[in-house]
Amino acid sequence: MIKQFKTKEEIEEYFSGDRIQCLICNKWYKEIGWHLKAKHELSCDEYKEMFGLPWSRGLVSEDLHNKKSDIAKELSACGRIGQHFNVEDFRKKRNKVLRKPVQPFQSDFAKKLGTWALSKYRNPCPPGRERIWFDADFERYLDELKNTGKTIMEVYKQGQLPHPNMLYRYAKQNLDFGERLKMVSNYRGIRKSKPNAVQNVIK
């Protein structure tokens, strides 16, 4: 019987180090995507589903993942690669990812932090770059707005903070935070939904 990863800690341990192990033949590689296709005739998604690995995580070691990330950031900073992407293509890929089954470690993560942790604080960014945000991140957002006097979008563009959509969603679900956000930004609070025209006709 194939053993699936059950917790976030097991996932982190599997990807840690300078090499990643193929769980089928137990050999070690820096990346195993090409190995799976050539030796086992498996796609990366089939392998991830088989062992309960994250859909958005590349099958590479943590060291190689960090190196590629650093190179991409350097090329982006000097303008050699752009950060623009086709919105329609991204939505199609995102919807495809959302239709994939929940992995066992995600269920464990949801039990520890609540089911909202899997979607509520996830940034609308390109596939593979999603991130979970926590209360401390939103408090840091608030402090930045208060100390700099910048707009929400200006603070977001500095990097390392949640997308404004995530900020607004958090404010709607945490009313005390929403009131404090009103005092330091142009946030207006929860908008009352307009009555549906069909409902008016029925009435």
All structural domains of the chain: 8-105 (1.10.10.1550), 135-184 (no CATH)
State the Cα–Cα distance between residues 62 and 18, nearest whole angstrom: 6
Question: Token digits for 175?
Answer: 């009313």
Which pLDDT score is estimated for 98? Answer: 56
pTM: 0.49
Q: How many CB atoms lie within 10 A of CB 20?
A: 23
Q: What is the mean pLDDT of residues 16-41?
A: 91
Quick: pLDDT tens for 75-102: 766 766 655 556 667 666 665 655 677 7
For tokens 């200006």, name the residue: 154
Question: Is 60 exceeded by the pLDDT of residue 176?
Answer: yes
Which pLDDT score is estimated for 121? Answer: 40
